[in-house]
Structure 1
């Protein structure tokens, strides 16, 4: 019999106990050993001072999820270069060594709680939410994005017309991701997640109506996924062995919830084969606020989660409306995914894994939590919503 002397040791056992719930079973991603299959989804909090430097408030925010028992934390989207990648005025960056160093205390605070942390690398492309702090936006083609900018992130009105990218622009983007991956490793992160989802630059290349190119970057799906695959491969090479490089993809977008890959299961198989060949350690499937079951289905009867697991042979993280414990258990029993990333449920319950392990009730999600409460104006309100009591 295992004898435990402290509440902390009891919690540690509970957080990796598959007998309590299959989500609490330990798992691995590449060289990473995780205490359970629960991840914090990347959520933009726009909480820097405007200089791209991670802050003490961000350290407290991410550490709260680690104290709450999550096996993996995926950070908010972080810009990779100083030219065109930034999306929001207060977005964090890792475009310089100094910005990378500012992340180190956050990584240490998360690691101290036994949780792994992956930095999400993001390039906005045409989805810039503000004007005036960087040059005009770029994209695969000179096509105005659908929808309007997001006011919570400083945006207003229609998106600007982006400049169609040149071969030099594309090479600079790839290099920017690779250099950011190297900086992330030096800052202590366990890996990076390439943000190829939700309508941002890499997804703009994959999306048919934003990519009207006729060169090797456009047309067939093999060409449209090429940039994401090259970014993954370059990041794998640059960061070196023993460092996780994952990739997040989606059909839906922040500015278009209706879009689906036109080739259904066939397109998905090609997308995932290219990402596997590029060396991705995992695939994270985003649902952009929608139910994962809804966005996973193709008109041809296929399922994006099934295709991703079958084609890549890599761990698959599912995201979107999966926080109901019985539904979550069924997903793992049926081997639909290897991990689940929680967003809204994690905001409402930074200690969600501990509550699951204890059989405790969960706090209800309040839509107001979607606003980036970690921002300066709302720091105290955010802090009160994410405060954790000591484990009992």
Structure 2
């Protein structure tokens, strides 16, 4: 017998999800433009999940800014790299996803902190405090300044 709960609607705050099938965030490395936007292939990837009946899609991690801890271009979406284009391409994707009754949440990050792989960074890894990097424990992450934390909060609000 099928579990009918799975197909019942669910409300998250004021967002009604048509069923309880959710796509957890998965990295979409390589499906990002050089200026931090979702490629057509990435947009199609999410739309196909909506066509399949997913009630909620949570996107891959999206950085709110890329100056303090600079990731090499094309690895993660970055809202502030080209905000106008990001909004345009993400809005188009959202419209296509919503057309199938699916909701989408954008997963935001202020940065990767101690778990940033130094191979994907153009700068040294940073974290709230000077701690060893997860991937290269011999590398100590640079401690964020108060001004940098304030900038990250500002960029998150803008995002």
TM-score by length of 1: 0.36
Q: What residue is the counterpart of 1:137 in the other structure?
A: 125
Question: Alpha-carbon deviations, 1:33-90, whole Å to 9, x = none?
Answer: 1111121000011111333121110111001110111111100000101213555652
Matched, 1:59 2:22: no
Question: In 2, distance between residues paired with 1:57 and 1:94?
Answer: 18
Please give the alpha-carbon distance, in whole angstroms, between the structure 2 residues aligned to 1:85 and 1:172.
Answer: 12
Select the structure with the greater relative contact order (CA < 8 A; seq sep ≥ 6): 2
Match for residue 350 of structure 1?
Answer: none
Measured at CA, do residues 110 and 88 of structure 1 come closer, stay the same or move farther in structure 2, by a change above 3 Å? farther
Gaps of 5+ in 1: 1-18, 149-157, 181-392
- Contact 1:87 1:130 (8 Å CA) reproduced: no
Give yes or no for contact 1:77–1:120 (8 Å, CA) kept in 2: yes
Aligned-residue offset at 1:171: 0.8
DSSP 3-state at the match of 1:126: helix
Contact 2:127 2:142 in 1 (8 A): yes
Following superposition, which runs of at least 4 residues in structure 1 exceed 4 angstroms of deviation?
85-89, 130-133
1:174-208 Cα shifts (integer Å, max 9, x gaps): 1111111xxxxxxxxxxxxxxxxxxxxxxxxxxxx
Q: How many angstroms apart in 2 are the aligned matches of 1:127 and 1:162? A: 10
The answer to whether structure 1 residue 98 and structure 2 residue 85 are counterparts is yes
Partners of 1:78 and 1:91 within 8 A in 2: yes
* Deviations 1:78-108 (CA, angstroms, capped at 9, x unpaired): 0101213555652111123332322122111
Q: 1:88 to 1:126 in 2, by over 3 A?
A: farther
Aligned 8 A contact 2:125 2:133 in 1 = no
Structure 2: 5+ residue runs without aligned partners?
none
- CA gap of 1:97–1:136, structure 2 versus 1, over 3 A, is farther
Q: How does 1:275-294 map to 2 (within 5 A)?
A: none
1:35 and 2:28 correspond: no
Secondary structure of the 1:53 match is: coil
Q: Which has the higher helix share?
A: 1
Tell me how far apart the structure 1 counterparts of residues 46 and 56 of structure 2 sit (CA, whole Å). 11
Kept in 2, the 8 Å contact 1:27–1:34? The answer is yes
Go from structure 1 to structure 2 and tell me whether the alpha carbon gap of 1:140 and 1:20 turns closer, same or farther (over 3 Å shift).
closer
Q: Tell me the matched-pair count.
A: 152
Offset, 1:22: 1.0
Residue number in structure 2 paired with 1:70: 54
Q: Is the 8 A contact 1:40 1:74 kept in 2?
A: yes
- 1:79 and 1:87 in contact (8 A); partners too: no
Q: Deviations over 1:119-176 (max 9, x none)?
A: 0001212332245853322111111123x2xxxxxxxxx2642111121111111111
User: Which residue in 2 is equivalent to 1:107?
Assistant: 94
